[in-house]
Amino acid sequence: MTAAPLPYRVVGNRAESTDTRTLELEPAGEALTGFRPGRFAMLYAFGVGEIPVSVAGLRHGVLSHTVRGVGAVSRALCAMRPGAQVGVRGPFGTEWDLASADGDLLVVAGGIGLAPLRPLVRAALSEPEAHGRLNVLIGARTPQDLLYRRELAAWGRPYCGVTVDRPAPGWEGEVGVVTALLDRASFTPQDTTAFLCGPEVMIRATARELRHRGIPPERIRISLERNMHCATGHCGHCQLGPLLLCRDGPVVGYDRAEPLLAVREL
């Protein structure tokens, strides 16, 4: 981890939807180390600013970051073409810690919350004997907003379900909230570890439903987002109760986070 951004070169820029792209970055010099599923980096668009972006993949030294263009910095990053340089600081924060998850795995993602869960799913698929059944439940606004569509067919061990809020003509999949997919998943509640990422309203509703179905709160892990600036635990912008989410998060146990989820962001 470095305090100053290191230069990385854009080697790929793939459209995921109309406003979301996945950047592939390789080091232009010194490479950062320590990237693991759930952690994040600060991406700097030179002359514009920097934002926190979760790690969406790391293969052969190439970092993947999925960015939704909603502000000046994110739009600048989405517009970058191969050969452009990006500053990268990190990695920061806590990880999903798949190694400590025994039994069945339940991954629930909403919208761009699928991005930080993608490397977790890939890691679980690479070592199927290390865990029980893997269920991936994905919610998106529309079929066009669904991320990583080309990968999803390989994620169904034994079940990968997708639902959307607003179907498009020709959509033959599920419509509705992501928790409706739980009835099709195969898992033993008391022996299941759940990983949740997405809008906080989805996280709260899903965590409550998982508790109702018998998954212990200490086995539910959620990724939270607040207004991260320094990423080193000094500025306090990302404080949530006693937690500084850039340091103590973004991945937090639900048993620790549940009483804090009613705290509004400043």
Tokens found for residue 52: 């926190």
> Would you say 238 is a known binding-site residue?
yes
Task: Tell me the C-alpha distance between 264 and 120, whole Å.
Answer: 28
Instruction: Annotate 239-252 with b (16+ C-beta within 10 A) or e (fewer).
Output: bbeebbbbbbbbbb
The answer to whether 246 touches 228, Cβ cutoff 8 Å, is: yes
Q: Which residues contact 183 (CB under 8 A, 6 or more apart)?
A: none
Tokens found for residue 237: 């912008």
Peptide bond into 250 cis (omega under 30): yes
**Cα-based distances in Å from 13 to 34, 77, 78, 160:** 23, 10, 8, 26
Q: Give the other-Cβ count within 10 Å of 164's Cβ.
A: 21
Sign of CA dihedral 121, 125, 129, 133: positive
> Would you say 197 is a known binding-site residue?
no
Residues β-bridged to residue 21 = 15, 67
> Would you say 230 is a known binding-site residue?
yes
Annotated binding residues for [2Fe-2S] cluster, written as ranges, equal 230, 235, 238, 246
Annotated binding residues, written as ranges, equal 230, 235, 238, 246
